[in-house]
Structure 1
Amino acid sequence: MAKQYTVLRGFNQSRTREPFAVGPSPTGLEALIAAQAIPQVEVRTLNKMEVLDTARDPEVKGIAPVMPIKLIEPTSNDDVSATAGDAWGISAVRADVSAFTGDGVVVSVLDTGIDPNHPAFQGITLVQKDFTGEGDGDGHGHGTHCAGTVFGRDVNGTRIGVARGVKKALIGKVLGTNGGGDSDMLFQGITWAIENQADVVSMSLGFDFPGFVDQMVSDGLPVPAATSIALEGYRANLRMFDALMQMIRARAAFGQGTVVVAASGNESERTAQKPYEVAVSIPAAAEGIISVGALGRAGNALEVASFSNTFPQISAPGVDIISARKGGGLISMNGTSMATPHVAGVAALWWDFMRQSDTPANALGISSKLLATARSNVFAANVDPTDRGMGIVTAP
């Protein structure tokens, strides 16, 4: 039976050993050539034999079944009157005292789109690309809120943006008005951002494993079979992300490269009657992507949000986050979705810092700076280090 698969292509002389394996990293001259290649993705309908034949193509770096994705659902608080003052996350990551603004840095936000008419985005060149078929714009509001935290301008005296000097943003609409999409849309969005020379890619979304299982069960499959098929797809897509990030890292080794950050997920529940924690989900779990956990305030200290998945690499403010509301004004939301754009914004500040210094600026160096400068002395005594990663992201 034929199914839809996403196929990742790039320069590679090594053949994959089995359909969903990641090929070895190129070396020598092959690595130099690979670094110049832009990853290419396509969606194809394939039967089992065609999957094998495609995997044997020396240019194929990865192949995975198309799976549903969704935004990492935030919880919305209330609309916020735009009174003077900063959103608390800005000062928590020390963007308010940084001498750097992100000027000259290109940031890509892959989400539900953006409200280009919001005052927070005036004066910014917004390059929009729709991968959902709905057209440009933001019918949901999630993407507008996330973009506002990364680079939004002040709204009636309220600062919401970490990197207010960013003048160009690539807005990839990979999620529709209902907050859903599929993995092919996401892979297309990432490669589009790379092709258009994004310095930072921010993703506040995740794979909808339960939704994939439910979809197959509603189509008549027994639960064990649906779960097994979903696990196979999940594994293949994780390997696909690993292969894509391998290509991105190869480019960074010979050029500037791209810093990719993603939300760890909101599936944990530390305050439930039977508390539980879930580890970082994909795409954040992929090798080379910086995974982000969410923090809230606990008096004069910080604590990990009850919903934030465990084992992130770094953390950022994600509770009571004020940013742009679709249609105008401001709104406060909670989620690792809100934490991720803080890290993307700080990454833009570090790009600005590195480019103004004598140190060569590249994605590997920026990623190292983000992790090495994270602060761990701001947390409440009961915070588990495995829940907050290296600490709270910190601006230069």
Structure 2
Amino acid sequence: MPTKRSNPKRTQTQSNSAARTSSTVEEMLLAAQASGSDSMETGRFIVTFKEGAVDEGIKAMRAQSMRTADARDFNDQSVELSGLGDADALVFPEIGAAVVGAAAAQERGMSAAAELASDDAMQIIEPEYFVFPEGSEDYLRGFLRAAETIARDLGTTVAVEASPGEEAEVAGNTWGLSACRVPASIRNGTGIKVAVLDTGFAIGHPDFVGRAVVSATFVGQPVQDLHGHGTHCIGTALGPQAPAGATPRYGIAFRGSIFVGKVLSNSGGSVGGSVLAGMNWAIANRCEVISMSLGGAGPVQAAYTAAGQAALQRGLLIVAAAGNGSGAPTGYPANSPTIMAVASLDSNLRPSSFSNRGKIEIAAPGRDVFSAAPMPRRYATMSGTSMATPHVSGCAALWAQSSPALRGMALWNRLRATARPLPFPASQVGAGLVQAP
């Protein structure tokens, strides 16, 4: 059957001049701000191919004189869109999807409303959307703040969000690790690759001295984290067992392999194409756990679902934040059926007031979470489903270490089967509180 999707209006300026395949995140955010539109669409499109039809799809696109780049032509499939020059499209072969520039799509009659023939290699064409960290503020505020930050050209001055007056527990373990029974676990994540797709990482952080870090950027900026969100998430999932001094233990898989994919810019904004590029890279590198504390409010998107399915088929697991819309429906990419959606809990193990509801697989500590931050601050306390997600990712790494059979869907099922039941609806906490092995 032909596939159709409605296509809300967008300005011509946003669609063409700022929505090339090689446009930077900043260019598209600024164009969206200048247009005055509250649409989360960037103007570009995401094409999802039918299963097994990637090469056929590439041939079809090139047959239409579309200049098409393939991530397989880049080392480790690490490709940054702004470096593509005059390419009309970039294909993510691990996922089976591609991002297409607005002008190239328009010239060839490609749109979200286009009808696709039954023998077409394309399964669906959807708008590309903006993406933001799942912090404690709503999507629109995050969107406007990111755009305003870029417009003011503040560069490195974006601050880590912290709860006023909240610092660390002074000894032992953070409340989140204790709730997840991490301190009692004999596992440490050895041999397990954990990819955190976020704002990057504070390279040189004292708590990570001697740890190997594999990194790639997908937003045209160095991996160095000038925002703080990514470092905080990496700290929870992969931080040290024994930080210096009286600092409590805040990291779970302290011997896991750290893979950093910078898919959110230093301003905190991004686009679907950059996120998919990071997911494609993490899958190509066979990272057993892929952690994503990012998203937006919107419908299920085929490309994210395809990415989740591709990961599961390769024995990998994608974990994503449900979002912080104060009970709104779970946002993308966590709303995809092939991606594990994580809700947030407060220290009393009740659902956080900001945590989204609906499609939820599991819950984890997300309120007042202490973890790493870029120097000179070193540590910060933050709240959000963003903070809950790396608790699940870290525990997933421990479970994956415990048995080579626990990969992909088997790991998904084990996390849910061993979760601590909670007296709340599954739409709020899923199977319950994640537990370490």
Alignment equivalent of 2:252, drawn from 144, 148, 162: 162
Amino acid in structure 2 at the alignment position of 1:372: A
Q: Could you say which residue in structure 1 is the equivalent of 2:395? A: 346
1:123-162 paired onto structure 2 within 5 Å: 123-153=210-240, 154-156=242-244, 157-162=247-252
CA RMSD across the alignment: 2.6
Q: Which region of structure 1 is more displaced relative to structure 2, 346-355 or 57-66?
A: 57-66
Partners of 1:197 and 1:369 in 2: how far apart? 20
Cα distance, 1:6 vs structure 2: 2.5
Once the two structures are TM-superposed, the CA of residue 11 in structure 1 deviates from its matched residue by 5.3
The 3 A distance-change label for structure 1 pair 351 and 61 is: farther
What is the aligned partner in structure 2 of residue 247 from structure 1? 310
Partner of 1:371: 416
Q: CA deviation at 1:8?
A: 4.0
1:28 is matched with none
Cα gap change, 1:13/1:67 in structure 2, threshold over 3 Å: closer, same or farther? closer
Structure 2, unaligned stretches of length 5 or more? 1-11, 16-42, 58-92, 137-160
Deviation at 1:83, TM superposition (A): 3.6
CA distance in 1, matches of 2:249, 2:119: 51
Q: Report the equivalent of 1:392.
A: 433
1-side partners of 2:261 and 2:50: how far apart? 22
Q: How many angstroms apart in 1 are the aligned matches of 2:179 and 2:419?
A: 11
**Counterparts of 2:213 and 2:122 in 1: how far apart (Å)?**
32
Change (3 A) 1:50 1:296: closer
1:31-66 per-residue CA deviation (whole Å, 9 max, x = no partner) reads xxxxxx733543222026245598877554553222
Deviation of 1:121 (Å) = 2.1
Equivalent residues of 2:168, 2:381 under 8 A apart: no
Q: Is the 8 A contact 1:81 1:329 kept in 2?
A: no
Matching residue within 335, 353, 356 for 1:306: 353
Deviations 1:154-201 (A, max 9, x none): 3224211111121x2211111111111001111111001000111100
The Cα shift of 1:10 comes to: 7.1
Pair 1:72-2:120 in alignment: no
SS at match of 1:244: helix
The 1:325–1:374 alpha-carbon spacing in structure 2 relative to 1, beyond 3 Å, is same
Deviations 1:215-240 (A, max 9, x none): xxxxxxxxxxxxxxxxxxx44x6122
Q: Is the 8 A contact 1:144 1:326 kept in 2?
A: yes
Q: Residue 9 and residue 296 in structure 1: after superposition, are their counterparts in 2 closer, same or farther (change >3 A)?
A: same
User: Which shows bigger deviation, 186-195 or 43-52?
Assistant: 43-52
Alignment partner of 2:347: what SS?
strand
Cα separation, partners in 2 of 1:173 and 1:333, compared to 1, 3 Å: same
Q: 2:277 aligns with which of 158, 178, 188?
A: 188
Q: 2:99 aligned with 1:43, yes or no?
A: yes
Distance 1:139 1:55 in 2: 46
Change (3 A) 1:82 1:390: closer
Q: 1:90 to 1:193 in 2, by over 3 A?
A: same
Query: Residues 13 and 58 of structure 1 are in contact (CA less than 8 Å); yes or no, is this contact kept in structure 2?
Result: no
| Alignment-derived partner of residue 226 in structure 1 | none
Q: How far off is 1:363 after superposition?
A: 1.0
Structure 1 length-normalised TM: 0.76
- 1:262·1:291 contact (CA, 8 Å) conserved in 2? yes
CA distance in 1 between counterparts of 2:270 and 2:435 reads 32
Find the aligned partners of 1:56 and 1:139 in 2 and give their Cα distance: 47
Question: Helix, strand or coil for the counterpart of 2:350?
Answer: strand
What's the counterpart of residue 179 of structure 2?
Answer: 92
| CA 283–202 in structure 1, closer or farther in 2 if over 3 Å, else same | same
Partner Cα separation in structure 2 for residue 61 and residue 248 of structure 1:
19
The unaligned stretches of length 5 or more in structure 1 are 17-36, 210-233, 269-276
Q: Which amino acid aligns with 1:66?
A: E
Inter-partner Cα distance in structure 1 for 2:53 and 2:96: 16
Q: 1:6 to 1:96 in 2, by over 3 A?
A: same
Specify the alignment match of 1:263 in structure 2.
321
Tell me how far 1:242 sits from its aligned partner: 1.9
> Which residue in 1 is equivalent to 2:86?
none
State how many pairs are aligned.
325
| Paired-residue identity, % | 34
Structure 1 residue 362 corresponds to structure 2 residue 407: yes
Asked if 2 retains the 8 angstrom alpha-carbon contact of 1:63 and 1:240, the reply is: no
Matched, 1:294 2:344: yes
* Alignment check: 8 A CA contact 1:82 1:330 kept: no
Q: Which residue of 2 aligns with 1:179?
A: 268
Is the partner of 1:85 in helix, strand or coil?
coil
| CA shift in 2, pair 1:131/1:334, >3 Å | same
- Structure of higher RCO (CA pairs closer than 8 Å, 6+ residues apart): 1
Bigger share in strand: 1
Question: CA 1:243/1:55 → structure 2, altered by over 3 Å: closer, same or farther?
Answer: farther
- The answer to whether the 8 A contact 1:293-1:339 is kept is yes
Q: Secondary structure at the match of 2:320?
A: strand
